[in-house]
Structure 1
Amino acid sequence: MLYSQYAWLYFFLLGLFSLLVGSFLNVLIHRLPIMLERSWRQEYQDYFAEGDNPPAQTEPYNLFLPRSACPHCGHQITALENIPLLSWLFLKGRCSSCQHPISARYPLVELLCALASVTVAFYYPPGWALAGALLLTWILLALTFIDFDKLLLPDQLTLPLLWVGLLLNLSHQFVPLADAVIGAIAGYMVLWSIYWAFKLLTGKEGMGYGDFKLLAALGAWLGWQSLPLILILSSCVGAILGITLVVMRRHQQSKPMPFGPYLAIAGWIALLWGEQLTNWYLGLLS
């Protein structure tokens, strides 16, 4: 009813909700790599603990504890200072306690999440397909920034994404289940084959295993037919962004470039415009 009679209100409320999701994604992007590193260190210490001396216990650190605080002065962020987008603008991008600059990436992630979510809602009516498309959008956004920061695509995000894609396609929400299963297998094997071919020829690793899993997840959501388009788009996006970063001198040429963000961006484009782009490309060839 809200969607059909009050479309403007529907998109407005979705945008507001997506700003909140974007705020949570900022926490996920920052904390998940730290949580994983602490978990790996704890496992190492547990395994190599000598005698009966138990490893030292640390304070809880997860997506909810401790409360968000300024990394420079330790000032705990209040509720009024944690309103998506508005708080950063009101504070003029600075901590209210020590006046240290707050990264503009926080409101950027929130804004990107809202804009991408509203865009998805224009193409998918309310239902399971829309819920799935929004979930895919949010996770791809988180993976993009985590990989840019840490050269890491966590299994904690890529593997559930793969299984949820297969689960949704049990009822053909995006593609038939057979296409989704083949897409998951082919997505993994394509990059796995490229990885080993490159390593055998050069002795170097050209990408990480997380890239295999991400493309497998995209294949599970969008089917094997989408894989060529995703690979072509990711290469184009990677070339454009890579050249832009080098020109802007924000990336050292010797530093590894993550491939996951380009896969994520290409997968999101394929989610919305994959069929049109494929038909346009085939039309050029005919």
Structure 2
Amino acid sequence: MPDPVVIAVLMGLLGLIIGSFVAAVTVRLPRDEDIMMGRSRCMSCERPLAPWHLVPVFSWLVQRGRCGWCRSPVSPRYILIELAAGGIGVWAALSGADGVMIGASAVLGWQLLLIAIVDAENFWLPDILTWPLMATGLGAAALISREWPLDSLTGLLVGFTLLWGMAWLYKRVRKRDGLGGGDPFLFAGAGAWVGWMGLPSVLLWACAVGFSLVLTFLITRGRVSGTDRLPFGSFLCVGIWLTWLYGPLGVG
């Protein structure tokens, strides 16, 4: 393989490009706009952006965080998403033992970034994002193992059944929804990627992130209500990523 530093740089640059697309999708998808063919526009003046306005990171910095046409402020979320995707590319390159693992890790990370942002901002896990996660998980398992991905398929089924059952039980007991309808599909995608043995670790990581957020709310706001909504799907994305990279907790 080429020098690891070269691979990391290339994956980071690719991540910046992917991040630009991810940022656009997080805006267009909740608005039911065309994801693939629609042109990027300024949110203020509505003018289509020129190609030189869309260079990841560079354009935002050169334009000082403003629209290239009307000079209205552009949210820093765009450059932050691009940098996050670039970081995922570098992380995947440094964590993968070969090209297949690097590619699989990067694809997973970029998918999880998109899903986590959409859920955090909209409390919504659409099928158009969770179902492809299942498909790529099965595909990655088949490529890596070079055989039928039975463990991943089992993880997919167990993941969906487990979280769907938890959601059903919670609603029966509390008489209200405790999980969104997309969470079982996301957990099924988790099982496809990390296998059924990795699912408990995904939940543990997700709960740790959730408890950390609740603790932050208690410190900063002084209270947490039982009706407060939390983006559990975003927490699951963190758990999937860490479990994929470092394996199930407690398993050497």
TM-score by length of 2: 0.90
Identify the match of residue 23 of structure 2 among 23, 26, 37: 26
Cα 1:145–1:128, aligned 2, differ >3 Å: closer, same or farther?
same
In 2, the alpha carbon distance for the partners of 1:176 and 1:227 equals: 20
1:169-195 per-position Cα deviation (integer Å, ceiling 9, x unaligned): 235549972321221111111111111
Q: How does 1:265-284 map to 2 (within 5 A)?
A: 265-275=238-248, 277-279=249-251
In 1, the alpha carbon distance for the partners of 2:14 and 2:144 equals: 27
Letter in 2 for 1:26: A
Letter in 2 for 1:78: A
In 2, the alpha carbon distance for the partners of 1:8 and 1:245 equals: 40
For the pair 1:261 / 2:218, whether they are aligned, the reply is: no
Quote the residue 1:45 is aligned against.
none
1:194-242 per-position Cα deviation (integer Å, ceiling 9, x unaligned): 1111111110100112110111111011111101111011001112134
Quote the residue 1:137 is aligned against.
109
Deviates more, 1:87-96 or 1:198-207: 87-96
Q: How does 1:1-286 map to 2 (within 5 A)?
A: 1=1, 3=2, 6-35=3-32, 61-173=33-145, 177-244=149-216, 254-275=227-248, 277-279=249-251
Structure 1: runs of 5 or more not aligned:
36-60, 281-286
Cα 1:111–1:184, aligned 2, differ >3 Å: closer, same or farther?
same
Count how many residue pairs are aligned between Structure 1 and Structure 2.
Answer: 250
In 2, the alpha carbon distance for the partners of 1:9 and 1:278 equals: 33
Structure 2: runs of 5 or more not aligned:
none
CA RMSD of aligned residues (A): 2.3
Quote the residue 1:54 is aligned against.
none
In 1, the alpha carbon distance for the partners of 2:62 and 2:214 equals: 33
3-state secondary structure, aligned to 1:278 = coil
Cα 1:91–1:213, aligned 2, differ >3 Å: closer, same or farther?
same
1:43-76 per-position Cα deviation (integer Å, ceiling 9, x unaligned): xxxxxxxxxxxxxxxxxx4124432111111232
Letter in 1 for 2:84: L
3-state secondary structure, aligned to 2:21 = helix
Larger Rg: 1
Letter in 1 for 2:6: L
Distance apart, 1:155 and its partner CA: 0.8
Distance apart, 1:100 and its partner CA: 2.2
TM-score by length of 1: 0.80
Distance apart, 1:118 and its partner CA: 0.9
Do 1:175 and 1:223's aligned partners in 2 also have CA atoms closer than 8 Å? no
Identity of aligned residues (%): 33
